[in-house]
Structure 1
Amino acid sequence: MAMHPLRQRVTGLLEEAGLQADGPGECDPQILDPRFYGRVLRQGSLGLGESYMDGWWRVGSLDGMLHRLLRHGTDGRVHGLRSRLDDLRAWLLNLQAGRRALAVGERHYDLGNDLFAAMLGRRMVYSCGYWLQAADLDAAQEAKLDLVCRKLGLRPGMRVLDIGCGWGEALQYAAQRYGVEGVGVTISREQAQHAHRLCAGLPVEIRLQDYHALAADGAGERFDRIFSIGMFEHVGARNYRAYFEVARRCLRPDPATGGGLFLLHCIGSNVSVRHTDPWIARYIFPNSMLPSAAQIAAAAEGLFVLEDWHGFGTDYDRTLQAWRANIEAAWDTLPPRYDERFRRMWRFYLAASMAAFRARRIQLWQLVLSPQGVPGGYLAPR
């Protein structure tokens, strides 16, 4: 009997990536519902992720399978209608401004502190750890926080701004270890409440505030140092320039460092895009967008001197594996609102992220910038 054309097409794409539908390997998907084939061809990555959430297929190594698909460029050969519509929306609308800018806080970061506490380890740091000399997740996250502080040359008495402060861990660390005072802004109520408790008794102020409101009049607060860890991915290409302008306005003049220092820690894309993957946009990070090196450089041009650009994206694969181990061990202790479909969604999210970093499709960057250039040059810690 001849194979159905839809099944034949998807089977051929899998085979090109070294995969076999219903095959014996740990990366071979086992197809449990024949509607899978048509859904993937019609909807691309959205259909692949949703069909996994719906239990239409399973696989021994989800990240292994997705890694093979990305390494062989299979995703570039199947584009669903949603991807084309997202591209059009991004052309017509500023998806990261006004009320839309708050969507990611409400739909992702406010899911529940119990979920993130179970996944992220002793420190609730939702960004890449630094594994150069670390043996476990907690050590890697502390090494990352210390690396940020050392790159900025933090000293007692400095005033520091954290744009997108998350649960407050970075500001707490900087205040306790380096004697600084600070202000952190976040658009997530859950994060702000936790950060308030975490930083109680420290010279740290946590604000439920969008970054656009910082120094909006051009004559507002000034800081000696600024860092932003894992937040720039939600800014959007239309707003990159305004974001750097805010950072520039918030830096206090400092002749010794060329006018203060700003550290940007973010995930980056190898290519310039206007929108994110349709499945990620619908289920994980609404209105998010990964910047390219070209977009960052263009947005910062004329505002900052680029002192250092440090990439360690392969560390994110290891960080994600640690998060996955933590959350898999904790599922049965979490509230029933994290049902089986949510678990499958979360597993797909973590595995797809691992695959993207492992395939070197996306990167992790730390940039150090100064408004006027550090006199005599900047020596970058590692």
Structure 2
Amino acid sequence: MNESVIKEMLAKIDVRINGTRPWDIQVHDDRLWGRVIRQGSLGLGEAYMEGWWDCPALDQFFCRVLRGDLEKHFRLTLPVLLGIAAYALRNLQSVARARMVARGHYDFGNDMFEAMLDPAMQYSCGYWEHADTLEQAQLDKMELICRKLRLKPGMRVLDIGCGWGGLGSYMAKRSGVHVTGVTVSWAQAQYAESRGQGLDVEWLLKDYRSLTGKYERIVSVGMFEHVGHKNYTVFMETARNLLHEDGLFLLHTIGANQKRLSVDPWIEKYIFRNGILPSIGQIGDAVSGRFVMEDWHNFGVDYDKTLMAWAENFSRGREEGKFTCTDSMFRMFRYYLLSCAGAFRARDLQLWQIVLSPHGVTDGYRRP
């Protein structure tokens, strides 16, 4: 019964069970059907990690699933309902809980991320308009941010969620600015410190809510996804208080097409604890009365290429012995990278760069 129901769903998106095309799934354990019916995406992902099924091109499979809106059949599974209740009733991104995602994901191991990412260790979407390699796409992304921020020598720049320090170091070297980077990941802070020698940079192991001072420019790349809807107002108020009256703030974040009540249960459990994607409306509400929106740039299609490059590097890195992990962990990361690539390809997810100013740029703002 369960198998026939899922077969019918998959037929609507032209996916065959044990078929020969790259997006067809190969089933190794018939318990898969009941698990997916009961647990939805959580059961599907865990079953993949355990080797119950395979797919030569997970990115193509998930692109078809999302374009066909198949997830709507599993929106009321128990894991989803528990997630909705948790996000509604609790502040899952409080100061006390802020380091959970760092311990569970960013502190996984710098050797793995070095193998997977570009030399600047950019764990966010590259800019592929004129690039044909991951390294160039990430350099172009950092250069685009510098130009959007109109950096000038001597400016004080705050990087909220600085990662491994690649962007901060690039800004300091390229534009002669002083950069303060903050992260809640001990591994990232230590790595950034080791790579920033000789540059006008400092790295702080702090939560953004504890910051003080004034900065001419603020940038936050790939961090807002961890802020949580209960904290959007606090985040924007904090940025506003830290920014000079004639400053600029660039926010780079993944976004959802509509307001979400919870995060995907599998992603929540295995990849990004307590994170949730913002919608246009939620960002707008948090910005309203605090900033003037100068520019809103969507290049979400570029995340598909970025994730596919990461997945290739990740697989090759393990094969070449650049890092070690269990088979389950290897399957988990590939599932995460390729399913997300499919989501961006299906335009289910977006990537936004938003430029904000306290009062509006006097002579107008033009995207470089």
The aligned runs of 1:44-193 (5 Å cut-off) are 44-79=40-75, 80-193=77-190
Q: Contact conserved, 1:14 with 1:20, CA < 8 A, in 2?
A: yes
Deviation at 1:200, TM superposition (A): 1.5
| Post-superposition offset of 1:178 | 0.4
2:105 counterpart SS class: helix
Judge which range, 243-252 or 75-84, deviates more: 75-84
Write out per-residue CA displacement over residues 9-37 of structure 1, whole angstroms, 9 at most, x where no aligned residue: 11111111111111222211111100000
Partner of 1:359: 346
Normalised by the size of structure 2, how large is the TM-score?
0.98
Structure 2 counterpart of 1:40: 36
Give the alignment's Cα RMSD to 1 decimal. 0.9
Answer whether contact 2:252 2:353 (CA < 8 A) is retained.
Answer: yes
Partners of 1:362 and 1:31 in 2: how far apart? Answer: 28
Alignment of 1:211-360 (within 5 A): 211-215=208-212, 221-253=213-245, 259-332=246-319, 333-336=321-324, 338-360=325-347
Answer whether contact 2:115 2:323 (CA < 8 A) is retained: no
The match for 1:256 is: none
- Shift in Å, 1:274: 3.1
Amino acid at match of 1:354: A
Per-residue displacement from partner, 1:234-273 (whole Å, max 9, x unpaired)?
00000001000010000123xxxxx200000000000111
Give TM-score scaled by structure 1 length.
0.95
CA contact (8 A) 2:111 2:322 kept: yes
Give the whole-Å Cα distance in 2 for the aligned partners of 1:185 and 1:122. Answer: 20
- Write the deviation string for residues 41-83 of structure 1: whole angstroms up to 9, x where unpaired: 1001101111000100111111111111111000111232101
- Answer whether contact 1:225 1:260 (CA < 8 A) is retained: yes
**Hey, what does 1:30 align to over in structure 2?**
26
For 2:317 and 2:144, locate their aligned partners in 1 and report how far apart those are by CA, in whole Å: 30
Matched residues in 2 for 1:327 and 1:98: separation? 32
User: How much has 1:275 moved relative to structure 2?
Assistant: 2.0
- Asked whether the 8 Å contact 1:275–1:287 carries over to 2, the reply is no
> Contact 1:90–1:274 (CA<8 Å) still a contact in 2?
yes
In the alignment, residue 235 of structure 2 is paired with which amino acid?
A: Y
Deviation at 1:325, TM superposition (A): 1.1
Amino acid of the structure 2 residue aligned with 1:237: H
**Contact preservation (8 Å) 2:112, 2:323:** no
- Bigger Cα displacement from structure 2, 324-333 vs 354-363: 324-333
Matches for 1:196-207 after TM superposition, within 5 Å = 196-207=193-204
- Give CA-to-partner distance per residue, 1:288-308, whole Å, 9 cap, x none: 000000000000100000000
Q: One-letter code of the match for 1:189?
A: W
CA contact 1:237–1:274 (8 Å) conserved in 2: no
CA–CA separation in structure 2 for the residues paired with 1:275 and 1:96:
13
Q: Tell me, which stretches of 5 or more residues in structure 2 are unaligned? A: none
1:292-347 deviation line (CA, Å, top 9, x unaligned) = 000000001000000000000000000111111111111131444x1100000001
The range that moved more, 83-92 or 73-82, is 73-82
- Aligned-partner Cα distance in 2 for 1:145–1:180: 14
Residue type of the partner of 2:173? Q
Check the 8 A contact 1:131/1:315 in 2, yes or no: yes
Runs of at least 4 residues off by over 6 Å = none
1:15 and 2:15 aligned: no
Aligned length: 366
- Runs (5+) with no aligned partner, structure 1: 216-220, 254-258
Distance 2:62 2:131 in 1: 27
Secondary structure (helix, strand or coil) at the match of 2:98 reads: helix
The 1-side partners of 2:19 and 2:244 are apart by 61
Amino acid at match of 1:241: T
Q: Quick one: distance in 2 between partners of 1:306 and 1:328?
A: 40
Task: For 2:174 and 2:323, locate their aligned partners in 1 and report how far apart those are by CA, in whole Å.
Answer: 35
Mean CA deviation greater in 23-32 or 67-76:
23-32
Query: Aligned to 1:183, what secondary structure does the other structure show?
Result: strand
Moved more, 97-106 or 313-322: 97-106
The CA distance in 2 between the partners of 1:343 and 1:123, in whole Å, is: 23
Cα distance, 1:98 vs structure 2: 2.7
